[in-house]
Amino acid sequence: MNPAKSGGRPARVSSAPAKEHDGPFAKNEQVTLDVIGLTHDGEGVGRADGFTLFVQGALPGEQVNARVMKMKKQYGYARLEKLLTESPDRLNPPCDIYKECGGCQLQHFDYEAQLAWKRQHVIDNLTRIGKLTVRENEGDRLGSADFGVQAERQGIVVHPTIGMDDPWRYRNKAAVPIGAAGEGGELVAGFYARGTHRIIDMDDCLIQHEHNDEVLRVVKRVAKELRIQPYDEQTGQGVLRHVMARTGVVTGEIMVVLVTNGKRLPRQPEWIEALRAGLPGLKSIVQNVNTRDTNVIFGDETRTLWGSDVIYDELDGIRFAISARSFYQVNPAQTVALYGKAVEYAALTGNENVIDAYCGIGTISLFLARKAGHVYGVEIVPEAIEDAKRNAALNGIDNATFEAGPAEVVIPRWRKEGAKADVIVVDPPRKGCDPALLETILQMEPERVVYVSCNPSTLARDLRVLEDGGYRTVEVTPVDMFPWTVHVESVAVLVLD
Ligand code: SAH
């Protein structure tokens, strides 16, 4: 549409200053928007005159006044100014720093509505990216930004999202940057403000386990008492860059990791004494050295300053040793639900050969091993594989073996060596499975593939590859691992058709 010829615009509230772009609105113009969905980032999808403006904080079903911030040819961004009609799903966010902090995106959205939205988000990805057919489900009450997709009566069953009864204080891990704030350069620790590198000081995070909040408070206090310089991103000066706290929720054990800009932690003995005195459940103090100019939290060098190299936790009666650098799911209650679904979808009878690709510290592998003939886990981080082996032994599980390496290299080699698999489970990072791994899965022809995914778009992409290779996706269950955030975890099962 040529905006110059578009005639009257009923959505316009104030008259427009001169335009600097091809879109129908001008920067700083106030517009009235109908919000028809949420983006994958949790922004409201606002529509006016057939044009899309994204509005942080606006909810589906609302009509809002918003101020145009940025215009592009096809879409723009606007700031919420006034709610004209309010969604019945709108909540008053309980967290004091919600508006500034970038950690949660959906605290203004009713929890049940979030669960419905997450399911719809998975469906949208499956249909749009995966070109898959999803079975219609009348129980779904929330629309998405894409009303064009009409699900048919046949196809994949996408179950309601498995949510939490009490969706707060669920995180077992906090990893936050340290910096200086204000004129006095006072040491602060918290999350980056949305879209910036400004640190919002945080003492109490409602999605964190209390132990982790306590670690952050104690580390800040001790750092100030010992006059430790916070790291400055601009100059690369200062000592303390990040702090990570991890709690074994079942065992109560705590690990503190201090990430330093250099090998030396000034006043190390005082640090150890003060942390031990301040944190009764403390089992491990670890230092990680990161001197690089990067956003990545950890550097390559890790050493234990005090206590054990690992902390322990338990999931459904299986004990796990977790070292500082190993991946471990952050929401243990929902992890049990997720792994339970993965095991159910694997439909094991006790004789099967199972491959667990991207196995981390062997968590899913050991859940599977209780029901399988043998489980073979593969994972790229060598320390995680050491943990996995230790975890199998710790639980007296002798039908699980582990190998370190890229799944897309190790599993093709296993196949060449004659390995057979009845079930292959994959749980890749956000970027999804490597094409070489998908190709190998198709060649190995396991009866079932169970796909655990933290990113619905790469899940959909990879399911399409498996479907084209002869598999049929039967069911998908989203599991809410990250309440109040836009993240969506899901588990899918495919069978050989
Ligand atoms: N299944 C585990 C870990 C899932 S997270 C759990 O639930 O705890 C994804 C894991 O994939 C991480 O441990 C990461 O280190 C690993 N990874 C990333 N790229 C990989 C690759 N190419 N091959 C094997 N593992 C990889």
Tell me how long the chain is.
497
Q: For ligand 1, atom 21, which residue shows the shortest CA distance?
A: 406
pLDDT score of 375 more than 80: yes
377 C-alpha to ligand 1 centroid (Å): 10
Structural contact between residues 465 and 435, judged by C-beta atoms closer than 8 angstroms: yes
What's the number of CA atoms in the CB half-sphere (13 Å) around residue 132? Answer: 34
Q: What is the pLDDT of residues 106-122, one digit of tens each?
A: 999 999 999 999 999 99
Nearest atom, ligand 1, residue 361 CA: 8
Q: For ligand 1, atom 5, which residue shows the shortest CA distance?
A: 429
Band (pLDDT 50/70/90 cuts) for residue 2 is very low
Torsion angle of the four alpha carbons 338, 211, 200, 108, in this order, in degrees rounded to the nearest 10: 50
For the beta carbon of residue 418, count every other beta carbon within 10 angstroms. Answer: 6
Q: Is 148 exposed, middle or buried (0-12, 13-18, 19+ CB in 10 A)?
A: exposed
380, 403, 424: residue to mutate for ligand 1 pocket, most atoms within 8 A of CB: 380
Give the rounded percent of residues in the chain with a pLDDT score beyond 70: 92
Residue 197, pLDDT score: 86
Residue 455, pLDDT score: 98
Band (pLDDT 50/70/90 cuts) for residue 92 is very high
Residue 17, pLDDT score: 52
Q: Is 402 in the pocket of ligand 1 (CB under 6 A)?
A: no
Cα separation, 476 vs 453, in Å, equals 10
Minimal CA–CA distance to 44: which of 73, 81, 15, 94? 81
- DSSP of 322-354: EETTS---S-HHHHHHHHHHHHHHHT--S--EE
Which pair of tokens denotes residue 132?
């898959």
Cα separation, 465 vs 130, in Å, equals 9
Q: What is the pLDDT of residues 411-450, one digit of tens each?
A: 999 999 999 999 999 999 999 999 999 999 999 999 999 9
CA 492 to each of CA 123, 220, 263: distance values in angstroms, whole numbers, following the listed order: 12, 42, 44
Residue 3, pLDDT score: 39
DSSP 198: P
Average pLDDT over residues 353-358: 98
Average pLDDT over residues 169-179: 97
Q: Is 454 in the active site?
A: yes
DSSP 362: T
Whole-structure pTM value = 0.90
**Choice among 12-26, 284-298, 311-325 with the minimum mean pLDDT:** 12-26
Nearest-Å Rg of the Cα atoms of the chain is 25
Q: What is the pLDDT of residues 120-170, one digit of tens each?
A: 999 999 999 999 999 976 444 444 433 333 333 479 999 999 999 999 999
Give the rounded percent of residues in the chain with a pLDDT score beyond 90: 86
Residue 154, pLDDT score: 74
Q: What is the pLDDT of residues 235-260, one digit of tens each?
A: 999 999 999 999 999 999 999 999 99
Structural contact between residues 104 and 95, judged by C-beta atoms closer than 8 angstroms: yes
Sign of CA dihedral 455, 461, 465, 467: positive
* Residue 289 main-chain phi, psi, to 5 deg: -105, 125
Band (pLDDT 50/70/90 cuts) for residue 195 is confident
Average pLDDT over residues 363-389: 97
Q: What's the whole-number average pLDDT of the chain?
A: 92
Q: Is 421 exposed, middle or buried (0-12, 13-18, 19+ CB in 10 A)?
A: buried
Q: What is the pLDDT of residues 10-63, one digit of tens each?
A: 444 454 554 455 679 999 999 999 999 999 999 999 999 999 999 999 999 999
Nearest atom, ligand 1, residue 338 CA: 7
Q: What is the pLDDT of residues 382-419, one digit of tens each?
A: 999 999 999 999 999 999 999 999 999 999 999 999 99
235 C-alpha to ligand 1 centroid (Å): 34
* Ordered domains of the chain (ranges, CATH): 3-85 (2.40.50.140), 112-165+331-496 (3.40.50.150), 173-315 (2.40.50.1070)
* Residue 6 main-chain phi, psi, to 5 deg: -80, -5
Nearest atom, ligand 1, residue 339 CA: 7
Catalytic residue among 101, 104, 359, 454: 454
Cα separation, 407 vs 153, in Å, equals 36
- DSSP of 372-437: SSEEEEEES-HHHHHHHHHHHHHTT--SEEEEES-HHHHHHHHHHTT---SEEEE---TT---HHH
pLDDT score of 233 more than 50: yes
Residue 2 neighbours by CB under 8 Å, 6+ apart: none
Which pair of tokens denotes residue 255?
């690990």
Residue 21, pLDDT score: 57
Residue 438 neighbours by CB under 8 Å, 6+ apart: 462, 465, 466, 469
259 C-alpha to ligand 1 centroid (Å): 22
Going by DSSP bridges, is the β-strand pair 448-453/471-479 parallel, antiparallel, or unpaired?
Answer: unpaired
